[in-house]
Amino acid sequence: MRFIHLTKQKANFKLLLVIFAFALCLACNKSEAENAKKENANNNQGSTEAPTAITVDKAISREVPAVIQTTGSLVADETSDIAPKVAGKVVNIYANVGEFVGRGSVIAKIDDKDARLRLAEAQAGVKQAQSAVRQAEVRLGLSANGTFNSSTIPEVRAANANYEQVLAELRQAEANEKRYRDLVETGDVAMITYETYRTNRDTARARVNAAKQQLEAAVNAAKLNNQAIKGAQAAVEAAQTQVATAQQAVTDTIIRAPFSGFISERPTAVGEYVTSSTPVATILRTNPIKLQMQVAESDVPYVSIGKAVSLEVDAYKDRRFGGTVTAINPAIDPTSRSAVVEAQIENGDNALRSGMFVTARIIRQGGNIGIFVPKSAVYDDQSTQSYRVFVIQEGVAKLRVVQLGTEENDFVQILSGVNADETIATSNLKQLYEGAEVQF
């Protein structure tokens, strides 16, 4: 009986184990069902999330001109070390480094006391020479700046009157001599009487010759005095030249800018003694400014005078400057196998400075087709250090990693990753991801 009782107890225990296992299995199945139900609920919530609102645009294709890309440096169009024309002590400097000065503006002033004394001396010399001219004119009886005529000179007039008088006396003596000579031949007058008239005739001839010589001497003296006037007038001109030289020396004590530009250096201070070889300041003409760039030997044939040039500098990453090619060095550097090409760049606001490093592009003939999208369509992903564009296909965003090219106004060239006419997102790019649903 004891054995039968133990057997019933074991049977009951096994039954209890089976019931416990069945209950545990039911509990597990219930938990899994609840988890599946929750997961389905979550999935149902994800599928009902609202699409992201965006704006879109089209990727466009257009011809892109071929360019030669190179680097270079900016240099001033003109550089001048301003030095004085005369030596002396600097008494004032009016321009400072960085200041813009116009052409002819006063840069510095040299002490002009000695130059002004020489000017006063030269002016006095002019007055003295003019006085000598007037004295020579008075000696000839001329008015100031009068015209010379020897017959109007008093000494010449007196000598001419005396010559006319003795010439008349000669005519009378010759007539008397002839009449008495005829009377001697007829026997009406004695020979001694005739000889008296012949002697008078000869004496008159001698007096005429003497008077004529006196007249010629008076004319020559007048001409000589007239030459004295011309000599005095030449002395006036020489003195006036000395005045002009002295006046220029005074003017040269003022140092002026040879052209409009910026003062880049001012090595001289007030009180220093300078000579014509001492630079007082350095001036740069930076508008237009000159670009010197190295162009590879293979690209030189495609560069010509007047070609358009665009350039960028690190100081103004958001700006692009333009200019034209003005000079091409005919020689190729044997070391770098490149030629120096110069371009002129407008620089009205002085944004570009001499010495800046430049990335330049020279437009050449030919070109190819490029894909362009708005700048707003490009997302700069800092985490991956890449540029991304989201292409929209059937209301779903497709992520494209792209390579950027040149920028033109509000558009940027896409070198790879996007095709022409594809629809692209232009807003809410940070909220988009691969497969995101969108609406627009």
pLDDT tens for each residue of 389-402: 999 999 999 999 99
Same domain, 274 and 300: no
Domain of residue 10, residue span: 1-46
Amino acid identity of residue 400, one-letter, is R
Greater pLDDT, 355 or 16: 355
SS (H, E, C) 183-211: HHHHCCCCHHHHHHHHHHHHHHHHHHHHH
Q: Which residues contact 263 (CB under 8 A, 6 or more apart)?
A: 95, 96, 97, 98, 99, 100, 101, 107, 281, 282, 283
* Percentage of the chain lying above the pLDDT 90 cut: 35
Average pLDDT score over the chain: 82
Same domain, 311 and 432: yes
pLDDT tens for each residue of 222-254: 666 666 667 677 778 888 888 898 888 888 899
Residue 368: the pLDDT is 76
pLDDT tens for each residue of 183-209: 888 878 788 888 888 888 888 888 888
Same domain, 23 and 67: no
Same domain, 238 and 262: no
Q: Which residues contact 81 (CB under 8 A, 6 or more apart)?
A: 279, 281, 282
98: domain CATH number? 2.40.50.100
Same domain, 394 and 305: yes
pLDDT at 27 over 50: no
Among 203, 234, 251, which residue terminates a domain? 251
Greater pLDDT, 408 or 397: 397
> Where is average pLDDT lowest: 216-225, 311-320, 385-394?
216-225
Residue 15: the pLDDT is 45
pLDDT tens for each residue of 66-96: 788 899 999 999 999 999 988 999 999 998 8
Q: Cα 421 to chain center, whole Å?
A: 47
Same domain, 217 and 263: no
Asked if residue 294 lies in contact with residue 70, where contact means CB atoms within 8 angstroms, the answer is yes
2 pLDDT tier (thresholds 50, 70, 90): very low
Same domain, 326 and 397: yes
430: domain CATH number? 2.40.30.170
Asked if residue 245 lies in contact with residue 122, where contact means CB atoms within 8 angstroms, the answer is yes
Residue 51 falls inside a structural domain? no
Same domain, 121 and 39: no
Same domain, 246 and 316: no
Compute the average pLDDT of residues 136-158. Answer: 64
Helix (H, G, I), strand (E, B) or coil at 422: coil
> Where is average pLDDT lowest: 43-52, 150-159, 219-228, 394-403?
43-52
Q: How many domains does the chain have?
A: 4
147 pLDDT tier (thresholds 50, 70, 90): low
Give the strand pairing for 106-110 and 88-93: antiparallel
Residue 42: the pLDDT is 44
Same domain, 185 and 213: yes
Greater pLDDT, 145 or 37: 145
Same domain, 88 and 122: no
